[in-house]
Amino acid sequence: MEPMIEDIENFFKFLKEVLQPCLPSEKADKLLSSILHCAAKRKGTIKFGEIWRESGLQWSDIIGTDRNVAEFLKKHKLEFTVNSAKVNSQPRMSMEEIKKPLLNLLEINAELEEVFDWVYANVSDISSPTFVRALVTAVHESCLSGSGTTWGLNTSKLKSRTPLIYHYVSTNEKLQLQALYAVQALLNQLGQPSGLLHQIFDVLYDDDVISDESFEEWEQSDDPNEAEGKGVAVHSVKSFFSWLREP
């Protein structure tokens, strides 16, 4: 189902041609609601609501003209498909201005769609290195605990939040490199805790957030702007790259 959610045209076609004949029924209603909430979780309710409205698809096309659309939407908490939200994207926000509210949301365990909604409503350029680095830093900070140079990673929490990073960098290896620089900078700030970068790299690789090529580019990069802590970081993940290059 997730690949179909990314293919919006076929997704709406599926809703209209496959689910519509099954309605009304309690099971079909719940299935439809679950599918749409899944889509909203991946894109955010604001963005998905906008996509829904731009598609021209009407709720009467899905549930029929003899049912009360407002009641259906309220019952299944799908009002975001018809109610537009005000978007106040702020130009030229600093990394800290982006990171702080994102970290606040993550620390209260906000749902991913709430984070997507905040980004959509407040960040004007989601393809900028500043945004990606702020997001990646906030995600990883929210999954760490400790002090000094002793820090532990909540791996399960990070894995639950990697879709946030994947959503913005999956098709752009330049942004994937920025994501790795952000992790490098964060761990350098924390004093290069032993084994932590390797743990993070394992998660980012296993969850298909960062490609092999982007990992390689990070390792080989000699960008002077990213030199701080780079040598120590590369040394700490030698075994990761040895494994990555195994035939």
Task: Check whether residue 157 and residue 114 sit in a common domain.
Answer: yes
Distance CA 124, CA 20 (A): 36
Task: Check whether residue 107 and residue 141 sit in a common domain.
Answer: yes
Question: In which residue are the tokens 């709406």 written?
Answer: 12
Q: How far is CA 212 from the centre of its chain?
A: 19
Task: Check whether residue 12 and residue 121 sit in a common domain.
Answer: no
Q: Which domain holds residue 60?
A: 1-81
The reply to whether 217 falls in a domain is yes
Q: Which of 46, 81, 116 is the last residue of a domain?
A: 81
Task: Check whether residue 152 and residue 77 sit in a common domain.
Answer: no
The reply to whether 14 falls in a domain is yes
Task: Check whether residue 113 and residue 204 sit in a common domain.
Answer: yes
Mean pLDDT across the chain: 87
Specify the CATH number for the domain of residue 19.
Answer: 1.25.40.180
Task: Check whether residue 195 and residue 76 sit in a common domain.
Answer: no
How confident is the model at residue 60, as a pLDDT? 77
How confident is the model at residue 163, as a pLDDT? 94
Task: Check whether residue 169 and residue 214 sit in a common domain.
Answer: yes
Domain count, the chain: 2
**In this predicted model, what pLDDT tens digit does every residue of 159-211 receive, in sequence order?**
999 999 999 999 999 999 999 999 999 999 999 999 999 999 999 999 999 99
The reply to whether 90 falls in a domain is no
The reply to whether 64 falls in a domain is yes
Phi (first) and psi of residue 222, to 5 degrees: -120, 30
Beta bridge partners of 150: 147
Task: Check whether residue 49 and residue 135 sit in a common domain.
Answer: no
The reply to whether 200 falls in a domain is yes
**In this predicted model, what pLDDT tens digit does every residue of 28-59 receive, in sequence order?**
778 888 888 888 877 778 888 888 887 777 78
The reply to whether 172 falls in a domain is yes
pTM of the model: 0.73
Distance CA 92, CA 243 (A): 40
The reply to whether 86 falls in a domain is no
Distance CA 72, CA 32 (A): 11
**In this predicted model, what pLDDT tens digit does every residue of 103-116 receive, in sequence order?**
999 999 999 989 99
Q: Which of 54, 81, 108 is the last residue of a domain?
A: 81
How confident is the model at residue 11, as a pLDDT? 75
How confident is the model at residue 23, as a pLDDT? 63
CB contact set of 137 (below 8 Å; sequence gap of 6+): 95, 99, 182, 185, 186
Task: Check whether residue 175 and residue 115 sit in a common domain.
Answer: yes
Task: Check whether residue 2 and residue 110 sit in a common domain.
Answer: no
For residue 122, the one-letter residue type is N
Query: Quick one: what percent of the chain has pLDDT higher than 70?
Result: 90
